[in-house]
Chains A and B, each alone.
Chain A
Amino acid sequence: MSAATLFGLCGAALVGLGLYGLIIHPQPLRKILAFNLIGSGVFLLFGVVARRGAAAGMSGDPVPQALVITGIVVAFSATALAVALLLRLFHITGQATLSPEGSKNARQKRTDSQ
């Protein structure tokens, strides 16, 4: 087995692991982390395709490599926006939950204290 295939299997495992975390964790921050794991697993699969495409004196196919660089920057932008939304939610409701009941309780608590 080549190193590329090994890391390809690793990428496949990362996608599964990230998806698992995304499903089972109720906290939004853990979901954001898990989503980034899925993303990096997909990038790794791209990297394997790039490495296997080594030709013409290049160590890998540059097109998927460039796509991954673009992907990492876009993933960071999306993560920053998601974290900002989460912190705003926490600021307004005092809770960081996606459950509609949780935010209802928080609203209740706020009106009680007013």
Chain B
Amino acid sequence: MLEGRNLKIKRGGSIILDVPSLSVQSGEILSLIGPNGAGKTTLLQALACLIKPSQGELFFKEKIVSSNHVLFQYRRKLTMVFQEPLLFDTTVFENVSSGLKIRGLKRTEIEKRVDENLERFGIPHLVHRSARKISGGEAQRVALARAFAPQPELLFLDEPLASLDPPTRESLIEDLERVLRQTGTTTIFATHDRMEALRLSDRIAVMNRGRILQIGPPPEVMNQPLDEFVASFVGVDTILTGRVSKKDKGSFLASVMGHEVEAVGEVELGETVVFCIRPENVTLSPPFPKRATSARNVFTGKIKKVIPMGLFYKVQLDCGFPLVAYVTSHALEDLELKEGKEIFASFKATSIHMVRKKLSG
């Protein structure tokens, strides 16, 4: 549906966006994730033709978006929601109808669509209120209703939930998810929250420094990050570098800071590899366990820090190399985990995602 080729944007002599190719299928929800300044907003605005790329082409339904006329036609097919609601200084009704008025729709049609979209986002009671006198969460709902009202073929969302408090965000993301599934609108969604991305998207693109480092379905990006940056951004807390010391059929041993770690995969002897271990795959057990475990990577570690993360705890360990595990509050009590305590940590060889240094450059 939408395809960018060789998009480059230069500012002040340096390249702030460099995307050789990106395509979005009809009905797809693509998330752009990455830290602040990764180029997510720039890419969104370039794809929405709000800023002009220094180089490259954009195709919408196989047609190049170039001349002013085509560009204008293209913009009528899309809408965008920013991080700030950017509502107009008038009533909620006038705000939601603005995109429809711009398109010159009839009054009856406008009223119908406004009602429908206020209903969708649970705010019909705000219709006659001033947009300057509603809460931040309500304002963002109005902004979303305004964006959906013209029934866009393409929807661009630039961190629309980022400045909301967690409960408001949670209820809004539920509604947004429902409306997106109902309407099947092709959406490109920039966020720095990987959980939002995981929840909403069909594909995730991880960005840094104006480039897309990896793009794929959420499980693939989460579990098989292509490099250390992607790994750390998608929530892999433990990233270890090791050298292959012993090789077997399908599995191998690598030396990580003097400790032998077993992993699976085809490697060369002496090769440097990077191990990505997700914290939810690390199991903690009391020292001197008698019970058997299928995990072959068992290490003694000292607890350095226990960090509450809401429903679970993040435990930072020193096993001779740093290791991070997630535990439930129940397990925390059960194992009497506290700083300074010694504990056994284990993870399965198959739960390690390996990045071959040679390949990732």
Answer yes or no: are A and B bound together in one complex.
no
B contact residues vs A (CB 8 Å cutoff): none
* Chain A interface residues toward B at CB < 8 A: none
